[in-house]
Amino acid sequence: MKARILIVEDEQIIAADLRNKLHRIGHEVVGTAIAGEEAIVMAEQLRPDLVLMDVQLEGEMSGTESARKIQQRTGAQVVFVTAFAGVFIRDPVTMAAPGICLSKPFSGLQLQTAVEAALALKT
């Protein structure tokens, strides 16, 4: 299934790499945001099937807070893409965040598996 995906990542080189990997596995990237507030607005306008969300973003809002709001408002699934996966263990509020976590660095196969798992949750 070809999915419409929004990338939320404040490091442009990582966002570009994600975009390329997603295109190679047959998905459509509908947009890229660098801050949580921007991601929420874009998700409401673009209605992606899936959001790839970094935990630490530019601006005041964290990726986990932004993900909660996006899921509430659009129903999009979330895959967290982070170098700080331990935050989900240390912080009970963050642990309650919706989604799957993919730890940086990751392979194309790991990304594909995470995307497919998240999309399967949506059906």
- At 95 the pLDDT is 44
Ramachandran angles phi, psi of 6, nearest 5°: -105, 130
Residues of the chain with pLDDT under 50: 89, 92, 94-96
- At 82 the pLDDT is 83
Residue 42: CA count within 13 A, CB half-sphere: 24
- At 121 the pLDDT is 83
Superfamily of domain 4-122 in the CATH hierarchy = Response regulator (3.40.50.2300)
Q: How far apart are CA 121 and CA 3, in angstroms?
A: 13
Q: How far apart are CA 51 and CA 9, in angstroms?
A: 10
Burial (CB count <10 Å: 0-12, 13-18, 19+), residue 83 = middle
The pTM (predicted TM-score) of the whole model is 0.89
- At 25 the pLDDT is 95
